[in-house]
Structure 1
């Protein structure tokens, strides 16, 4: 058989019916688009221009020139389309579909064998080939049309036309197309009469849409005050006229038949378009009420002079802006001393009121927060007026409020005297000679007033500068410079070295508050929280040093400080932990309130200095013992993780059966229960691991890696608290100890994450790194303590040091009163013979544990010694 039979051919082509039709349709669309795109571009541009009414805004001659150009372009585009458009043939569709298939199976189905028609074997191969081609053709898909015109329209004129037409549909009107008929030389286009259009556009701040007056029927019309009315008359001038009483215009009125009418609605009345198709509306006006503002309470004053004034504002469409104006109440000022002179002219204080950044401003409550401590009117009577504006520039004011402008109070007598002379100098430059005289009297015996010679020298230079400038006349710049110098000296006398630390603390608190208010990212808030922790720690240390130098002030000093608060660093650490927890949970309002409470307490507090601990232990000894306990707990957690890792490879072992197992809670005895109970095996060592904090059952008491992770997290938090109490800051040894504890904390974090991910091997490695860093931190802390003892004056602490040295074992550990060695205590790695001997032993143990030639049992023992000590 030399070819397919007619039935085979028909069945093969029947399967290609729809792919061929769709391919032909795509080729037709391709040919049509490529031919008519210039014509469609011209048509869309012309319709867009007419719908937007461009013919009404230019001269008639320009309209005719554009019309002739448009007609010419349209004729050229039509000729281009007729010449280029060709209806595709069915053979072309078959050719395109066949070309999209591998091997051109359709053409193969139509071919006949050229030779070998008498050879039955050759014809069998030919039939098999055509059968494969038929199967391949049956799977054909329509060929999509290529509608891209970038090669024919490189400047994308078609998209410009589509965009212009879309704008015309949104903002234009089809009715405007008919207005072009009136521009023809013949008057036949006016047979339908004149037409008009109108719009009512409310003020933007109302948020209401523009009304198309042609779509509104006659009757009542309610508009917002200030609505802009726009009317356009088309046709013979005078055929349509306007009559209105809503604009309130008396002079400068345009003619009633003017084709363009624009006016604003300011009062009730009527609007009437008179003529063919005209309408009349009775307009009522929605008034725009002025904004309202009121004070919600008395001003709240912080300890350092910051004022917080609550207020509430409202408006029917929203408040745009507001300000507070403060003027001096000269009649209420007690005119004595430096205030007896007439004050120099000074502008009123104008401060912008805070408004919501996002959300509705129709009604809100805010606080005006400002610090006027440096202003010349601080602590003097003033009058405060708050005002707000709406979008219509209407203003609402509060009645003038009498108040004392809040300012910082200085309790140090010398600082108060400097601030008073600063105020007198800013009040009137005529007070300069008197201020210089008083300042000289204050500094007459500087050793009785100033704690250091530097402050006395600074004040002396300020006095000399004031006296010198007074002879040649004071200007505003010199006065402000002298006032700034006096302010800085007063702060030094009042706060001493605390000034810089307190300023950094305030700045950290303000940045964190602003970040929470503006919705900052979690990473940014975490970074600012760390900055606040560092600033708080530095401020606490500066405060402790000052109190150590000055001593307790007694009842008088406490009365000066007001209602002081007794707080420890642990209390502050817990408060900051709570703030961070609230922020992580997304409870920003509660976090901001807690941060405000922390700020107020920090400004009013008196630090509870570290009293000698129980048993007469110093601060360094307490820190060393705390780190030793943390190391023991970390060792217990590592032992438990190692035991769990062993049982993963020996799942059939019962409690305590694994060789070398130490129990779930980090106990020492072999065969001890995994649940922390006494086992039945060889030995029942005492449990030493603690769950959670303080040895009590906490959230980390659960079984499995999640319980270990929670205990690891609690241990990390405990290390953070201990790091805040670490002595020796500023010394190389103390800084090295803190760096080591930072590394230990990071390793604990990695261990916690590994435990939550069920990666016990990784957790054990991180725990080993944490223990090594803890040991290094303890060594550095011991060196810092030894260096501190050496820096003490001769005789101080010597007896105690000798007594403690006599009560140590050869490894430098404390012995009990009975003389028994305490194997749980930390090694003495500080200076001295005991510390030197302990370091030598540890170095020797590390060296031997790294020798691979030693037996595994010995190396395991040495590693346990390193983990232990």
Structure 2
């Protein structure tokens, strides 16, 4: 291009020479890009296809057809520039630069004065105008080139070609382009350049990349065991040969030459490609070591029987899965009493090992957490063996270890006796007559051994069932059913069904004392100590509620005798736990007795002189608590009916067995699942009416509670309709919403009652009232609003939170059982998502 020169019409134009040249160069770039983009697109597409080796994986006819299409496209791309290339001129560049400046100063500098050339005033104005244009032109900057061709390429073919070429650069090779030379018709001999290709693809689980053999120089190479070697030969058949000793299979002498060879690396050896351009490698096989696993410590057992067994596993590429196999060590069992006879055959217990969710699996430590308390082998000697598997199906099984299968320990003597007979029943059905006799002896005088009549009746029912059925032989289903009932009875005897907080605290103290006498483990004692803390806290809440019901006079009478802070109580419990951990059980028992006596002396008596009846708000609170309990019972019954719908034959006996009339009636009662829907609906309707009555007893300030009860009523109406339509799953959801609304209403009502009592206690000095509001009978600070804690009202069952955890665990367990119907597991998953 000739040097660009400006006319010397005005000295000011010399200042724009640089921006003008850059603008002109940008216009040339625009013209070239707009004219040559089809040629670049075709070139990138063809080169990318050749680099990826597509010509080697498709039929030869397809290659020829693609070559014709590429040739036509290349011709069109060559014609396109001649028809669309525009040569930019100096004038166009000057005009574009001038258009980028305000007022077009360059054009003004190139103009001449048309009139008034002889007038001094006109000349002065013209010169001033020219000076301003010079200053404005001096600010000129090069105009950027517009390289967009989107209007000429609406389908973005240029970007497709660029992406295709980038993929070829990453996954392809320039050396593959030469293979197309051997496809030319009439080409004789081998084509120049490489005439073979090869890949070494390690197993995916190793995480190692695929190697392109043409990129490897002759010499030694290390490959993992199981690496797949693929070699492709091009040109005349037999011109190249492949010899290898890494597969260990050998090659028959009469085998015909092949153009594609696949084999795996099973041992160290050589790979030789003989012929023009051939290579050879000494392959060192990297062995795949078997995984390893071992028990890393003694099992840790919680008070409720959950076992946590630490283990360590490792593998060179990562452990895929593992399992623990538990078998009964019959030789180590103390064969006395119910264990003297031969046990029934039971399969080994197999549980999967916990694998890490995050991080690698090459070396890790985890814990096997399971609860075997209900298993027949609980608290019996067993052998446990851990095994792991890696991705190459290699398995390692550790040597069996001896241990006592952890299970829940029962400290109540009667509960422990029931559990022992349950174990004997599961040991062998032949123990049934002996079990009946022992249970009859234990329950001969129920008033002396049972705390409640309900527990005695439950045991008597199991004895009668077992006595009747044992005469005709027990089935497996009946054996499991009676064992489950005995387990539930033992839990009831161990933990009790205590609604009163003081009795619950006494029970926790008794269990802790029994545990110390029986030499319980530190973990069990710690768990029972936590239970005692919770029971004591509930008792404190009962004291606070009683104080709120008492008048101010009684508060003053009790103020001097019940001033023990929460810190004092905490220090006493910490002292007891410290003595137990140090092994000083005698001192710990003495301190526990002192704590029990102290708590007994703190009981708040009822019906003292001057104490009136319950207020309407308190009566409404009691009524709502009863409604919540009944709603929970209705929901439990609906859930049991739903289970029976999915498994109607779960509790039936084997046909052909005959019994007396009592047996037939009992079995008939057990085989009526899902038919109590209408009766539950009627009870739901009655509960709805009772809620309306309770709502009318709310005090005037209970507006928030009234709104919550309205929502509970609507949910009860929907639950009733679902029950009548036999839509049990929807009914349970509606009942859950009703219980949530009832709890919210009780919390709101409790706040309203506390606020009313706080206002009534406002007689007297402000300082005295403030102290009375901020201190409970034990001298502790209450909440900021001076009201009672709503947690006591929510604890409507013996252990609401513990029971909720048990329900959630049971729902999770059942949702993971694949043998259950799909609709039942869907419903259980919806329950988990909701709660």
Q: Normalising to structure 1: TM-score of the pair?
A: 0.59
- Is 1:558–1:564's contact at 8 Å kept on the other side of the alignment? no
The SS at the match of 1:243 is strand
> 1:387 & 1:24 partners in 2: Cα distance?
77
Q: Does 1:137 align with 2:95?
A: no
From 504, 507, 515, the equivalent of 1:546 is 504
User: Could you tell me which residue of structure 2 aligns to residue 224 of structure 1?
Assistant: 224
1:242, distance to aligned residue in structure 2 (A): 0.8
More deviation, 454-463/547-556: 547-556
More deviation, 169-178/153-162: 153-162
Q: Does 1:346 align with 2:346?
A: yes
User: Could you tell me which residue of structure 1 aligns to residue 177 of structure 2?
Assistant: 177
1:65, distance to aligned residue in structure 2 (A): 0.8
- Is 1:564–1:606's contact at 8 Å kept on the other side of the alignment? no
Measured at CA, do residues 259 and 388 of structure 1 come closer, stay the same or move farther in structure 2, by a change above 3 Å?
Answer: same
Q: Does 1:389 align with 2:317?
A: no
Measured at CA, do residues 366 and 116 of structure 1 come closer, stay the same or move farther in structure 2, by a change above 3 Å?
Answer: same
- Is 2:290–2:394's contact at 8 Å kept on the other side of the alignment? yes
User: Could you tell me which residue of structure 2 aligns to residue 88 of structure 1?
Assistant: 88
Measured at CA, do residues 22 and 124 of structure 1 come closer, stay the same or move farther in structure 2, by a change above 3 Å?
Answer: same
User: Could you tell me which residue of structure 1 aligns to residue 21 of structure 2?
Assistant: 21
- Is 2:302–2:527's contact at 8 Å kept on the other side of the alignment? no
1:281, distance to aligned residue in structure 2 (A): 2.4
> 1:138 & 1:69 partners in 2: Cα distance?
54
User: Could you tell me which residue of structure 1 aligns to residue 202 of structure 2?
Assistant: 202
Measured at CA, do residues 478 and 160 of structure 1 come closer, stay the same or move farther in structure 2, by a change above 3 Å?
Answer: farther
> 2:531 & 2:255 partners in 1: Cα distance?
72
> 1:475 & 1:108 partners in 2: Cα distance?
112
User: Could you tell me which residue of structure 2 aligns to residue 257 of structure 1?
Assistant: 257
Q: Give RMSD over aligned pairs.
A: 4.6
Measured at CA, do residues 481 and 561 of structure 1 come closer, stay the same or move farther in structure 2, by a change above 3 Å?
Answer: same
From 602, 613, 616, the equivalent of 2:530 is 602
User: Could you tell me which residue of structure 1 aligns to residue 294 of structure 2?
Assistant: 294
> 1:401 & 1:262 partners in 2: Cα distance?
45
> 1:564 & 1:215 partners in 2: Cα distance?
65
The SS at the match of 1:249 is coil
> 1:254 & 1:340 partners in 2: Cα distance?
71
The SS at the match of 1:15 is helix
1:423, distance to aligned residue in structure 2 (A): 2.8
Measured at CA, do residues 488 and 16 of structure 1 come closer, stay the same or move farther in structure 2, by a change above 3 Å?
Answer: farther
The SS at the match of 1:325 is strand
Q: Does 1:488 align with 2:459?
A: no
Unaligned runs of 5+ in 1: 1-5, 501-540, 566-595, 627-724, 737-775, 788-808, 814-822, 831-869
User: Could you tell me which residue of structure 2 aligns to residue 559 of structure 1?
Assistant: 517
- Is 1:299–1:308's contact at 8 Å kept on the other side of the alignment? yes
The SS at the match of 2:102 is coil
- Is 1:782–1:828's contact at 8 Å kept on the other side of the alignment? no
User: Could you tell me which residue of structure 1 aligns to residue 159 of structure 2?
Assistant: 159
> 1:449 & 1:785 partners in 2: Cα distance?
49
User: Could you tell me which residue of structure 2 aligns to residue 79 of structure 1?
Assistant: 79
* Paired positions, count: 584
Measured at CA, do residues 7 and 142 of structure 1 come closer, stay the same or move farther in structure 2, by a change above 3 Å?
Answer: closer
1:325, distance to aligned residue in structure 2 (A): 1.3
The SS at the match of 2:367 is strand
More deviation, 62-71/208-217: 208-217
User: Could you tell me which residue of structure 2 aligns to residue 313 of structure 1?
Assistant: 313
The SS at the match of 1:230 is strand
User: Could you tell me which residue of structure 1 aligns to residue 238 of structure 2?
Assistant: 238
1:180, distance to aligned residue in structure 2 (A): 0.9
Q: Counterparts of 1:278-289 in structure 2 under 5 Å? A: 278-289=278-289
The SS at the match of 2:325 is strand
More deviation, 423-432/320-329: 423-432
1:328, distance to aligned residue in structure 2 (A): 2.1
> 1:426 & 1:390 partners in 2: Cα distance?
37
Measured at CA, do residues 557 and 464 of structure 1 come closer, stay the same or move farther in structure 2, by a change above 3 Å?
Answer: same
> 1:316 & 1:119 partners in 2: Cα distance?
100
Measured at CA, do residues 402 and 619 of structure 1 come closer, stay the same or move farther in structure 2, by a change above 3 Å?
Answer: farther
- Is 1:320–1:389's contact at 8 Å kept on the other side of the alignment? yes
- Is 1:303–1:603's contact at 8 Å kept on the other side of the alignment? no
1:560, distance to aligned residue in structure 2 (A): 4.3
> 1:624 & 1:241 partners in 2: Cα distance?
89
User: Could you tell me which residue of structure 1 aligns to residue 150 of structure 2?
Assistant: 150
The SS at the match of 1:16 is helix
Higher relative contact order (CA 8 A, sep 6+): 2
The SS at the match of 1:411 is coil
Measured at CA, do residues 384 and 432 of structure 1 come closer, stay the same or move farther in structure 2, by a change above 3 Å?
Answer: same
> 1:12 & 1:254 partners in 2: Cα distance?
91
> 1:556 & 1:624 partners in 2: Cα distance?
26
User: Could you tell me which residue of structure 2 aligns to residue 102 of structure 1?
Assistant: 102
User: Could you tell me which residue of structure 2 aligns to residue 537 of structure 1?
Assistant: none
> 2:773 & 2:315 partners in 1: Cα distance?
72
- Is 2:201–2:210's contact at 8 Å kept on the other side of the alignment? yes
More deviation, 476-485/49-58: 476-485
Question: C-alpha offsets along residues 186-238 of structure 1, whole Å, 9 cap, x if unaligned?
Answer: 22574637722223233333343433333333333333222222212111110
The SS at the match of 2:87 is coil
Question: C-alpha offsets along residues 560-597 of structure 1, whole Å, 9 cap, x if unaligned?
Answer: 484789xxxxxxxxxxxxxxxxxxxxxxxxxxxxxx99
- Is 2:191–2:235's contact at 8 Å kept on the other side of the alignment? no
Question: C-alpha offsets along residues 430-480 of structure 1, whole Å, 9 cap, x if unaligned?
Answer: 555655565455444443333233434444555566667768876655554
> 2:566 & 2:517 partners in 1: Cα distance?
37
User: Could you tell me which residue of structure 2 aligns to residue 811 of structure 1?
Assistant: 764
Measured at CA, do residues 345 and 68 of structure 1 come closer, stay the same or move farther in structure 2, by a change above 3 Å?
Answer: farther
Question: C-alpha offsets along residues 743-786 of structure 1, whole Å, 9 cap, x if unaligned?
Answer: xxxxxxxxxxxxxxxxxxxxxxxxxxxxxxxxx99994995999
> 1:625 & 1:234 partners in 2: Cα distance?
88
Q: Does 1:410 align with 2:410?
A: yes
Q: Counterparts of 1:331-370 in structure 2 under 5 Å? A: 331-340=331-340, 342-370=342-370
Measured at CA, do residues 250 and 143 of structure 1 come closer, stay the same or move farther in structure 2, by a change above 3 Å?
Answer: same
Q: Counterparts of 1:368-447 in structure 2 under 5 Å? A: 368-429=368-429, 431=431, 435=435, 438-447=438-447
The SS at the match of 2:37 is helix
Measured at CA, do residues 493 and 125 of structure 1 come closer, stay the same or move farther in structure 2, by a change above 3 Å?
Answer: farther
- Is 1:199–1:231's contact at 8 Å kept on the other side of the alignment? yes
> 1:827 & 1:8 partners in 2: Cα distance?
101
Measured at CA, do residues 79 and 334 of structure 1 come closer, stay the same or move farther in structure 2, by a change above 3 Å?
Answer: same
Question: C-alpha offsets along residues 37-91 of structure 1, whole Å, 9 cap, x if unaligned?
Answer: 2222221111111111111111111111111111111111221232112222222
Q: Does 1:61 align with 2:19?
A: no
The SS at the match of 2:232 is strand
Measured at CA, do residues 282 and 130 of structure 1 come closer, stay the same or move farther in structure 2, by a change above 3 Å?
Answer: same
> 2:402 & 2:24 partners in 1: Cα distance?
88
Q: Normalising to structure 2: TM-score of the pair?
A: 0.61
> 1:557 & 1:333 partners in 2: Cα distance?
24
1:19, distance to aligned residue in structure 2 (A): 2.2
1:266, distance to aligned residue in structure 2 (A): 0.7
The SS at the match of 1:267 is coil
1:599, distance to aligned residue in structure 2 (A): 6.4
Unaligned runs of 5+ in 2: 1-5, 544-556, 569-601, 606-613, 622-749, 775-835
The SS at the match of 1:187 is coil
1:385, distance to aligned residue in structure 2 (A): 0.6
> 1:552 & 1:333 partners in 2: Cα distance?
31
- Is 2:763–2:769's contact at 8 Å kept on the other side of the alignment? no
> 2:59 & 2:508 partners in 1: Cα distance?
91
> 1:826 & 1:20 partners in 2: Cα distance?
88
> 2:337 & 2:413 partners in 1: Cα distance?
17
> 1:625 & 1:242 partners in 2: Cα distance?
85
1:182, distance to aligned residue in structure 2 (A): 1.0
Question: C-alpha offsets along residues 128-169 of structure 1, whole Å, 9 cap, x if unaligned?
Answer: 333333322322332222233333333322222111111111
